[in-house]
Chains A and B, each alone.
Chain A
Amino acid sequence: GAVVSQHPSWVICKSGTSVKIECRSLDFQATTMFWYRQFPKQSLMLMATSNEGSKATYEQGVEKDKFLINHASLTLSTLTVTSAHPEDSSFYICSARETRTDTQYFGPGTRLTVL
């Protein structure tokens, strides 16, 4: 089946630094990718919808200047957490929508800890 990878799997950084997370569809093209955030014991909350070649669409309450999303190709979307703070510590999961089958596949997630 289709595979979505995320890199890194986990990252620990100091407060005030920026962190980039990559989401790749390995064997299919994805014009649309989604970024979710999940806090412990909670559900997944959609942060933004990333469309290849255009600006991301952010959900209400998500700061677009803090969570920068770039979807430069049909197989890669990146999420950059700028000036990270401890409250940004979370599990970030991306998903990629395979255009041909209209099926969404989830990545393994990236655990971010900000000290």
Chain B
Amino acid sequence: ELKVEQNPLFLSMQEGKNYTIYCNYSTTSDRLYWYRQDPGKSLESLFVLLSNGAVKQEGRLMASLDTKARLSTLHITAAVHDLSATYFCAARGGGAKSYGKLTFGQGTILTVHP
């Protein structure tokens, strides 16, 4: 059974600082996703990572994937208040019988303060 764990679960950062959120998954996965969720809203897709060593960047966020370590990271550079949200990683199970279903991590609640 695929399990996904995020760390940390709560993160309070000062504006301008850097930090990394970690996402570990337990078994083989063929895709790793990062999403953002604002309060009361659904998920906004940030990144999809397909292969070992994949790195994607958008603005102040950069995501990477190490399939051998079963680890993905979401790095925040020079945080700004607008980045305050909950961030989820999700791993897609491999195999035809999974139908592409996703298993989500617990979420990381990020608060950026002045």
Contact = CB atoms under 8 A, between A and B. Distances in A.
Interface of A: 32, 34, 41-46, 49, 51, 57, 93, 95, 97, 102-109, 111
B68 interface: no
A46 B42 contact: no
User: Ordered nearest first, which 5 A-B pairs have the shortest CB separation?
Assistant: A109-B42, A106-B43, A108-B42, A43-B104, A44-B104
Contact of B41 (A46, A51, A108): A108
Contacts of A93: 42-43
A51 B88 CA distance: 25
B99 A51 contact: yes
A7 to B, nearest CB: 13
B100 A109 contact: no
Contacts of A111: 40
Contacts of B42: 93, 106-109
Interface of B: 35, 40-43, 45, 48, 88, 99-107, 109
A109 B37 CA distance: 11
A43 B99 contact: no
Secondary structure at the A interface, as helix, strand, loop or mixed, is strand
9 contacts: A32-B100, A34-B101, A42-B106, A44-B104, A46-B103, A97-B99, A104-B100, A107-B42, A109-B42
B99 A57 contact: yes
Which of A49, A102, A103, A104 has the most B CB atoms < 10 Å from its CB? A104
A102 B102 CA distance: 13
B60 to A, nearest CB: 22
B104 A49 contact: no
Given A108-B41, A109-B41, A43 B107 contact: yes
A32 B102 contact: no
Contacts of B101: 34, 46, 49
Given A43-B106, A109-B41, 18 more contacts: A32-B99, A32-B100, A34-B101, A34-B102, A42-B107, A43-B88, A43-B107, A44-B43, A46-B101, A46-B102, A93-B43, A95-B102, A97-B100, A102-B100, A104-B102, A105-B45, A106-B35, A107-B42
